[in-house]
Amino acid sequence: MFDIIKSLQLRLLHMGFIQLDSRWQYDNVISPFSRLYLITAGEGWVLHNGQKFILKPGYLYLIPSFTYSRYHCDQFLEQYYISFFDALQEGLSIYDLKSMAYEIEAMPIDYALMERLLAQNPDRAIIQPDPKTYDNRPEVLPFNQPKPNQSMSQFVETNGILLQLFSRFLGAENDQDQQRAKGFHQLASVLQYIDSHLHEKLTVELLARNAHLNTDYFSRLFLSIVGIRPMDYIINKRLERAQLLMMTSSIALKEIAESVGIPSIYYFSRLFKRRFGSPPGMYRSTAWHM
């Protein structure tokens, strides 16, 4: 697993310190980026991965990308917040390979790291948290490059701090993690092929041939390792890529659908709504949630 983890890249999207009130209540949030909170005062809660986490002062919280989430505050909540993109080689997600902690007690260094990260990125705050009026897509476009007013040393330090904070949630590796990583490594070439050819026609037969395996055996192997069937995995990856493109570009929805291998805009809209809860046009106009 370590060889795969070494390829982990995190890229800062937003960072700030904010005081929230009862208006911080959002449902059905599925974002292509992860969130990290350090709570300093007040109380709220988030729900993801089928679990409710009470946001308490003195704790760090991680909300994974591409998961259904809910956010709630009754009266007052004060927090540092970070949103970031994560990427591994072969189109994988760190959340696929590693069991994570999503709530950990903060240490004094975590406060210092947050203050330093904010000092290095003072213009990364979300200006308007209301998703109906907030549109910050231009901020997302260069997420993997230094900002125009950011030096290379600031860029490197920012990524180093982000990795250090994220590492707090990894915990010790267990046997289940090792087995999961071993399985994904077995399918590495197939997963890489899928990630690089989403815009093309992909079939189970084609993937099995590339893996030099019988089609039926390949399908069973894929299901046992990944947890879903090959075509369902491909659809998920296409929709996730489309979601990211919606938030990082102004490309027309029809072009996005075609670029991820779903040439019918009607079929694309139906699939997107089934996965993310709203049609793509509505999602794009209300995509940003704090």
Q: What is the pLDDT of residues 12-56, one digit of tens each?
A: 989 999 999 999 998 888 888 999 999 999 999 999 988 999 999
Three-state DSSP class for residue 124: coil
- CATH number, span 2-167: 2.60.120.10
Measure the CA–CA gap between 227 and 206, rounded to whole angstroms.
20
Measure the CA–CA gap between 44 and 236, rounded to whole angstroms.
31
CA angle at 158 for the pair 143 and 106, rounded to the nearest 5°: 115
Helix-helix angle 175-186:215-226, to 10 degrees:
150
Predicted local distance difference test score (pLDDT) of residue 132: 37
Element (H, E) at 25: strand 25-29
Q: What is the mean pLDDT of residues 101-110?
A: 96
Contact 195, 234 (CB under 8 A): no
pTM listed for this prediction: 0.81
Contact 139, 34 (CB under 8 A): no
With 0-12 / 13-18 / 19 or more C-beta atoms within 10 angstroms meaning exposed / middle / buried, residue 234 is buried
With 0-12 / 13-18 / 19 or more C-beta atoms within 10 angstroms meaning exposed / middle / buried, residue 3 is exposed
Three-state DSSP class for residue 235: helix
Closest CA to 135 of 37, 53, 250: 250
What fold, for 187-285? Answer: Arc Repressor Mutant, subunit A (1.10.10)
pLDDT tens digit sequence for 49-105: 889 999 999 999 999 988 889 999 999 999 999 999 988 766 677 887 777 899 999
Predicted local distance difference test score (pLDDT) of residue 148: 58
Measure the CA–CA gap between 121 and 158, rounded to whole angstroms.
8
Share of the chain above pLDDT 90, in %: 53
Distant-in-sequence, close-in-space partners of 133: CB < 8 Å, separation ≥ 6: none
| Sequence spans of domains, the chain | 2-167, 187-285
Predicted local distance difference test score (pLDDT) of residue 142: 44
Beta bridge partners of 249: none
Q: Can you read off the two tokens belonging to residue 251?
A: 């490309």
Domain 2-167 shares a fold with domain 187-285: no
Please identify which residue in the block is written with the tokens 């046992």.
Answer: 224
Give the burial string for 94-119 (b: 16+ CB within 10 Å, else e). Answer: bbebbeeeebeebeeebeebbeebbe
Confidence of residue 289 (pLDDT cuts 50, 70, 90): very low
Q: Can you read off the two tokens belonging to residue 134?
A: 């907030």
Q: What is the mean pLDDT of residues 264-289?
A: 83
Predicted local distance difference test score (pLDDT) of residue 49: 84
Q: What is the mean pLDDT of residues 119-147?
A: 58
Q: Can you read off the two tokens belonging to residue 263?
A: 């040439």
